[in-house]
Chain A
Amino acid sequence: MQGVWPHWRKIVYSFCGLKFLAILLLPIGGDFLSWIIGASYVLQTVLAGELPSLSTYGVYIGIETVLAPFFWVWTKLPVEHPNLSSLVQHTAPAISLALLMKFPIFLFDVATLILLLRVVRHITNSEQKSIVAALTWFVNPFNFYMLYFFGAMDVIPIAVFMLAVDFGLDGRWFRCGVSTIISGLLRLFAFAVYPFFFALTKTKPSRGRLILGAVLPLVLMIGLLYLSRDTLATVFNVPAKEFWLLEFLGFNVLGMQFVRWSPVLVLFQLYVVFRFWREDTNIVYLASVSLLALSLGATLYGGESQHFLWLSPLLSACVAMRLEDGWIYVLTFFTALMAPTVNPFYQWTPEPILFDTFLAAAFYAMKATYLLKLNLSNLRIT
């Protein structure tokens, strides 16, 4: 290894320091505050001796439950515990709260880094390529902004999903199914990837294990719903309350009644994979195209770049495997960072209204390009 590669650990340690600095110095706000409030509600319910219900807390209940113990630790710290609405920034309570509640982000950020190293090394047998994947994840400005400025807790299900990818690479399909569905229960994205894994399960037993692995967490979840006194009707009414979930379905296709773009794209991508892809493709490419198709089809909230974080570790692995696609990777993440709903430089953008559509379109175009490129590079040569 030459150049910066032998020093990659130093780079990672430096960025660890930088990330801790960001945790300490950045004010609590944005999505992060919503997560803290959610975790505090879940904790209150549990301390009252009840199970938090999906109909009350919505689809974020899984991640909020993961965060609740961290909030509980904060309540036990020997500092003042003001009401969250009257929290003063940069005081001891605020800094300690930020440190504890952003610690899971850092923890799962590092876990994703380690899993990326494993996954890419397993696929490519190259240490250098695995380092490229790990560094493009860990030092990526888009990820840095989304995780530590915006407070995106998506990194928790992302790490679980990367674990599923790792299990899939090892041919442990039961564990892969369990991890994928757990990740999907925390955030819906992983459900779109699950059917794509069947392209890699060549034998009936492995297919059976993948199905069984998916059934187990679903059965457990139904049991928990029953215990928390949720009914099917209240569960199915969640999208009516959290209407943005339906934005994931995307536009109407050609103005056709009820036909929405996102499921069409994901299913058509599934067809392309089963019909036209090489049989020796790998799980990273499969997961990437499924999420790219979903991200391309979803509109507004679902297609916003904050959800592009899901694709980030997968695209890091993709770019490490095919370094010649580096320019697409760079442009994709640049446009993701500049997309109107995330753009940290938005207030300094000249004529934001004028540039909104341009920046959003550029981001969509890059997603489409990446999807096309991955499909082309995996086509079966006949």
Chain B
Amino acid sequence: MDFQLIAQPPTVANREPTHLKCLSRKAFRRSILLFFSIFIRNRNAFLVLVGVVAAFKVVLSAVAPASFDLRDIIMLVASGHAPIGPWIALYPPLYNQTASNVRRLQSWPLTASLGSDLSLATLSLLFRLPVFLFDLATTIVLFYIGRKMESSVEGRLMGLVWFLNPFSFFGVELLGLPDVVCVFLVVLSFLLLISERPVLSATALGLGAFVKLFPFFLLPALLVYMHVNGERRRALLSATFVGALGFLGYLGWVLPYGLEYLVTPTPVTQLMPFVGGLPNTVNAVTFGLFAFYCLLIIFVKKRIPLSMFLSTLLVYYVLAEPGPQYLIWLLPLLAVDVVVFADRLRVSIASGLLVFAFLQWFLVSSAFLTPSGYSLLMFPLGGASLPSYSVAVGNFLDSNLVGIIILPLVSSATFAFLLAYTAEQIRLWFSVPQAG
């Protein structure tokens, strides 16, 4: 021990910033905890809150009109010429493909009011209940992640950040997309990783990639982590194998319907980064991801699984920019990040990102318009005699103000917050060690 150094009085320059930062971080964290304290400190209160919100979600799942995405899935099944693969398992009403049932399903998205018709409400619920279960399962996994990294209190807070978030509610139950299955598998993969089960973690990623492509991009990050963590070569090979198997499974159900499903965005596929673009041009996503993986290999010398997973997804999202609703891919890990680190600036950036992305989503989707002419918020936006508030919303969305000023500013702000949050994550590679 260097006694001389200890004996020296600390200078203002080396004492104040760290001290103040710790205080501010603690105070901020305390203020968040205070707000949620009833629900996160008391197990029963937490369960009651989750139960009430779950009931609310189920009721709205029964009465909200069908989204364009749900209609597209019905159309895909009806056409018989497009891939649907494992997705069909999520939608029980699609199991029965008799002509009369398909006709009934096709008429469902055009029906505005579901509350009065019990059979339609049941149909809507059956379409949305499986994804709701995965939503709930993601909350549970988040709780265990929090408990593993910090304590049950943090676990509950993480679960609530995900489960109470309007982003996930609109993105999961109301749109009815199966992305939440992959989200659940990614979160499960992360839990397995921090529980020192890397091969099982890769298996979860492989299963995710079988359903939708994006979890596959986490596989290189997982392998780099395993390498940094000193895993044996056999474990690395096993992880690569199970991850690649999921990807091959994905290709197995998409490729029989032609290459265009890999290069054209459809409900079941998204633009694949390694395919597409003009001949003899550089595909920006391919270039960006390869460069990112190389940087990851060069710079990451620490065990920072959260930052590695989150920054990979963020970089993919920044490069491919698939649309604001797909931020739910990141949302659970983002919840883990803001709760574990509770840094004022990072929480502000994450909140700004979600707020602006939600606003952008609201504007580009014409207030969550559905094929029935009703918004997912259940006010009419189409039809002959509209109430005055619907006309006002419609006029506002069609105005120059939105098209040429608000939308570019909101979209740019979303992208800027996204870049800043990505920088925040990548910055961790170089400095702050991962908690837990």
* Same assembly: yes
Question: A residues within 8 Å of B by Cβ?
Answer: 236-237, 239-240, 246, 249, 253-254, 256-268, 271, 274-275, 279, 382
Question: B residues within 8 Å of A by Cβ?
Answer: 17, 284, 319, 321, 345, 349, 360, 364, 399-401, 404-405, 407-417, 419-420, 423-424, 427, 431
* Chain A: minimal CB distance from B261 (Å): 22
The answer to whether A256 and B349 have CB atoms under 8 Å apart is: no
The answer to whether A263 and B404 have CB atoms under 8 Å apart is: no
Total A-B residue contacts, Cβ distance less than 8 Å: 78
User: Given A259-B321, A275-B345, are A267 and B416 neighbors across the interface (CB < 8 Å)?
Assistant: yes
The answer to whether A256 and B423 have CB atoms under 8 Å apart is: no
Complex Cα gap A262–B405 (Å): 13
Contacts of A257 in B (CB 8 A): 364, 411
Complex Cα gap A267–B364 (Å): 22
Q: In terms of DSSP, what is the predominant structure of the interface of chain A?
A: helix
Complex Cα gap A267–B349 (Å): 11
The answer to whether B408 and A249 have CB atoms under 8 Å apart is: yes
The 10 A-B residue pairs with the shortest CB-CB distance, nearest first, are A267-B416, A258-B411, A263-B412, A271-B420, A236-B401, A264-B416, A259-B415, A259-B411, A260-B408, A260-B412
Most chain-B Cβ atoms within 10 A of its Cβ — which of A239, A268, A279?
A268
Q: Could you list 10 further interchain pairs (A-B, Cβ under 8 angstroms) beyond the known A261-B412, A263-B412?
A: A236-B400, A237-B401, A246-B408, A249-B408, A253-B412, A259-B411, A264-B415, A266-B416, A267-B417, A267-B420
Complex Cα gap A237–B409 (Å): 16
Complex Cα gap A191–B11 (Å): 38
Contacts of A261 in B (CB 8 A): 412
Which residue on chain B has the smallest CB distance to residue A243? B404
* Chain B: minimal CB distance from A364 (Å): 19
Which residue on chain B has the smallest CB distance to residue A237? B400
Complex Cα gap A261–B416 (Å): 9
Contacts of A256 in B (CB 8 A): 321, 411, 415
Complex Cα gap A266–B401 (Å): 21
Contacting residue for A268 out of B401, B404, B414, B420, CB 8 A: B420
The answer to whether B284 and A254 have CB atoms under 8 Å apart is: yes
Which residue on chain A has the smallest CB distance to residue B419? A268
Contacts of B420 in A (CB 8 A): 267-268, 271, 275
* Chain A: minimal CB distance from B265 (Å): 12
Please list 11 pairs of residues, one from A and one from B, whose beta carbons are closer than 8 Å in the complex, sorted by A's number: A237-B401, A246-B405, A249-B408, A254-B284, A254-B321, A258-B408, A258-B410, A259-B411, A267-B412, A268-B416, A271-B420
Complex Cα gap A342–B369 (Å): 48
Which residue on chain B has the smallest CB distance to residue A263? B412
* Chain B: minimal CB distance from A233 (Å): 8
* Chain B: minimal CB distance from A128 (Å): 28
Most chain-B Cβ atoms within 10 A of its Cβ — which of A260, A265, A267?
A267
Contacting residue for A240 out of B345, B400, B410, CB 8 A: B400
